A and B are shown apart, each in its own frame.
Chain A
């Protein structure tokens, strides 16, 4: 039926054939982790290049186009440079926390990547509380930012870290509530289940008005959650220099940098899965070929990533108090009302289904 899945099943059977059961499970886990690390780095490097090209396009420039075809190897070259750079740090930094911080950030975004159904059955970890897991994991990242800012013993970094704490804690509420609104209509927290439900129309269509509002709130708070402009309080180049990662260099800086892009991808991937039918093709065009789901999943995600980049290169930055006003006085009340409206719509069966 399916070539790719056939190979995966063959490997699975072979592993369990030649090794004892526990050993085979461990080896399989390591193999899957390596595959995801590969996906992670390719996605990260590609998104950095995409950001630079998109930015250039908005800014009347060309962007990197010399290293490799259309600059495809540019970020590889940059990554090599960052790996080979000296790791500097402040002498009065809290060494242990300072070194630990980047790993919090990178691990949290890497773990979140595991639960997405890239296509039917292409999912590392089909957990039945997928949405809950995503919200929980994505809030670990902020610990890394807080630690990094605090431990590097720099006042600018400290201000950035404190801002990030305030910002992420506030906007997590909106992310959670807007996703819960969609869980009401999907009837499940499991991501693969949520995708299955959308065979009768994407959830943004099924849930019409409240779903669109939830989508908008999700994109706004998702942008804030990933600390990207117009909510880049944490880095705020013109205010804080580089914010929380002022004192980081080389590969440790690269971890923060890559994690930001992976987080952006994750936000877009959540939106794709929950609102736009995940790997499902529009109108069931290619339903008979499941591996094309990867294509649909990635293209939907990249469109949303482009949207987030569009925000960044168009809007000015909010001030820190305006950021909190937006969340607590506007998004949160709207979100709560929206959730009640959605509950009524599901209860009275007013959803649009094909």
Chain B
């Protein structure tokens, strides 16, 4: 009898805290309702909608050229790849023949975007586990890509470089030179990333065995991109449904089998090497030719349904257009990688500590405007 009363006195109580929408670890306006018992997480409920801008609905109003510009604002870190997805869908529907030059440039720009996104992710990953210095190292290298983009596309974040039928403008004369300089520079910097963070014993202790995601769960939750590949689910769209110039380059799909936070981290570091190799293979022989195919001033897609998927830095982005033959789509749906990856969060972080949740969130690499659209 007495024992129970003592236990009652020291009964631990679960309580609920709001992590976000203004919280350093949620990287944007995501609200997580955490139910925790002391430090141990019992439940995570993501609460979305703080940055919802109805992009899909706006697309039903706009012309096809205008839609491309909206996609920049979804996953702003892989804006060029988003643009490319919409452009490819429209071009496939119109059955436009795209010259080799455009395809090659699109692929180079896409891979550079992926590298820049992963650079930012790497910096923020370090920051989330407490090593603030990584942030500046990641940004130093990202800055070089931003400069290349600024020169060629005219913008550093929302580039709007792809248009239906090709590219907005031809590449800048310096482009090839600067990309080569970047590749040479960055090859010496990835080992630096490894020695600063990957090989750090505290970092490995923080990430190994944390947030383990099995291959079955990865498939059933609809995970894609590095998150799914770290669990051994081979799902690289670039490999299985190559688009643009990706069918003529050789690269390895980055795969790990552990499925924990450290595996997700390593997959992204491997992807940095692979993207560099893709850029390196293509940048030396960009074919001559037109940078834009002439399209009608008002694009009208033939009646029907069109789907195209690409691999953004976060995973599989699908664009699904239903057209009734008018100048804007009847319905447009984006299948965004971040949304599906976010749904994993409760599944893999329950039972961990608050620190684990932050590390897991960092390797899911969520961009909130991509989730909310």
Query: What B residues does A159 contact at CB under 8 A?
Result: 39, 354
In the complex, what's the smallest C-beta–C-beta distance from A240 to chain B, in angstroms? 8
Indicate which residue in B17, B135, B140, B200 contacts A315 across the interface (CB closer than 8 Å). Answer: B200
C-alpha gap A237/B26 in the complex (Å): 12
Taking a contact as CB atoms under 8 Å apart, the answer to whether A239 and B136 are in contact is: no
Taking a contact as CB atoms under 8 Å apart, the answer to whether A230 and B353 are in contact is: no
Taking a contact as CB atoms under 8 Å apart, the answer to whether A316 and B126 are in contact is: yes
Does B287 touch A at the CB level, under 8 Å? no
C-alpha gap A237/B126 in the complex (Å): 12
Does B202 touch A at the CB level, under 8 Å? yes
C-alpha gap A210/B20 in the complex (Å): 48
Does B25 touch A at the CB level, under 8 Å? yes
Contact indicator per residue, chain B 336-373, by CB within 8 Å of chain A (1) or not (0): 00000000000000000111101000000000000000
Taking a contact as CB atoms under 8 Å apart, the answer to whether A238 and B130 are in contact is: yes
Given known contacts A159-B39, A316-B203, A241 and B126 CB-to-CB distance under 8 angstroms? no
C-alpha gap A315/B24 in the complex (Å): 19
C-alpha gap A313/B197 in the complex (Å): 12
Does A321 touch B at the CB level, under 8 Å? yes
C-alpha gap A321/B203 in the complex (Å): 14
Does A218 touch B at the CB level, under 8 Å? no
Taking a contact as CB atoms under 8 Å apart, the answer to whether B133 and A58 are in contact is: yes
Given known contacts A230-B202, A241-B23, A317 and B15 CB-to-CB distance under 8 angstroms? no
Tally of contacts, chain A with chain B, CB under 8 A: 80
A229-281 interface (Cβ within 8 A of B): 229-230, 232, 236-241
Look across to chain A and name the residue whose beta carbon is closest to the beta carbon of B357. Answer: A239
Taking a contact as CB atoms under 8 Å apart, the answer to whether B130 and A321 are in contact is: no
Does A9 touch B at the CB level, under 8 Å? no
Q: Is the interface of B mostly helix, strand, loop or mixed?
A: helix
Taking a contact as CB atoms under 8 Å apart, the answer to whether B39 and A314 are in contact is: no
Taking a contact as CB atoms under 8 Å apart, the answer to whether B130 and A322 are in contact is: no
Q: Is the interface of A mostly helix, strand, loop or mixed?
A: loop
Given known contacts A232-B130, A315-B202, A61 and B136 CB-to-CB distance under 8 angstroms? yes
Does B184 touch A at the CB level, under 8 Å? no
C-alpha gap A60/B126 in the complex (Å): 16
Taking a contact as CB atoms under 8 Å apart, the answer to whether A59 and B133 are in contact is: yes
The listed residue with most B CB atoms (<10 A of its CB), out of A55, A313, A319, is A319
Look across to chain A and name the residue whose beta carbon is closest to the beta carbon of B134. Answer: A316
Query: What A residues does B24 contact at CB under 8 A?
Result: 237-238, 241
Query: What B residues does A24 contact at CB under 8 A?
Result: none
Does B245 touch A at the CB level, under 8 Å? no
- Interface size bucket, A side? 20 to 34
Look across to chain A and name the residue whose beta carbon is closest to the beta carbon of B17. Answer: A155
Query: What B residues does A239 contact at CB under 8 A?
Result: 25, 354-355, 358
C-alpha gap A318/B137 in the complex (Å): 21
Taking a contact as CB atoms under 8 Å apart, the answer to whether A238 and B127 are in contact is: yes
Taking a contact as CB atoms under 8 Å apart, the answer to whether B197 and A316 are in contact is: yes
C-alpha gap A343/B12 in the complex (Å): 44
Look across to chain B and name the residue whose beta carbon is closest to the beta carbon of A319. Answer: B355
Look across to chain B and name the residue whose beta carbon is closest to the beta carbon of A312. Answer: B132
Does A33 touch B at the CB level, under 8 Å? no
Query: What A residues does B155 contact at CB under 8 A?
Result: none
Query: What B residues does A230 contact at CB under 8 A?
Result: 130, 202
Contact indicator per residue, chain A 150-182, by CB within 8 Å of chain B (1) or not (0): 000001100100000000000000000000000
Does B206 touch A at the CB level, under 8 Å? yes
Does A320 touch B at the CB level, under 8 Å? yes
Given known contacts A59-B132, A60-B137, A159-B39, A321 and B358 CB-to-CB distance under 8 angstroms? no
Query: What B residues does A60 contact at CB under 8 A?
Result: 136-137, 140
In the complex, what's the smallest C-beta–C-beta distance from B22 to chain A, in angstroms? 8
In the complex, what's the smallest C-beta–C-beta distance from B229 to chain A, in angstroms? 24
Contact indicator per residue, chain B 27-71, by CB within 8 Å of chain A (1) or not (0): 000000000000100000000000000000000000000000000
Taking a contact as CB atoms under 8 Å apart, the answer to whether B354 and A314 are in contact is: no
The listed residue with most B CB atoms (<10 A of its CB), out of A60, A238, A313, is A238
Look across to chain B and name the residue whose beta carbon is closest to the beta carbon of A325. Answer: B205
- Closest 6 A/B residue pairs (Cβ): A317-B130, A59-B136, A316-B129, A316-B131, A319-B355, A238-B25
17 CB-based A-B contacts, threshold 8 Å: A55-B132, A59-B133, A230-B202, A237-B24, A238-B127, A313-B133, A314-B131, A314-B133, A315-B200, A316-B129, A316-B200, A316-B206, A317-B131, A317-B206, A318-B205, A318-B206, A319-B353
Enumerate chain A interface residues (CB-CB to B < 8 A): 55, 58-61, 155-156, 159, 229-230, 232, 236-241, 313-322
A232-B130, A320-B353 known; 9 other A-B pairs, CB under 8 Å? A55-B132, A55-B133, A61-B136, A239-B354, A240-B354, A241-B23, A315-B202, A322-B202, A322-B206
Enumerate chain B interface residues (CB-CB to A < 8 A): 15, 17, 23-25, 39, 126-133, 135-137, 140, 196-197, 200, 202-203, 205-206, 353-356, 358
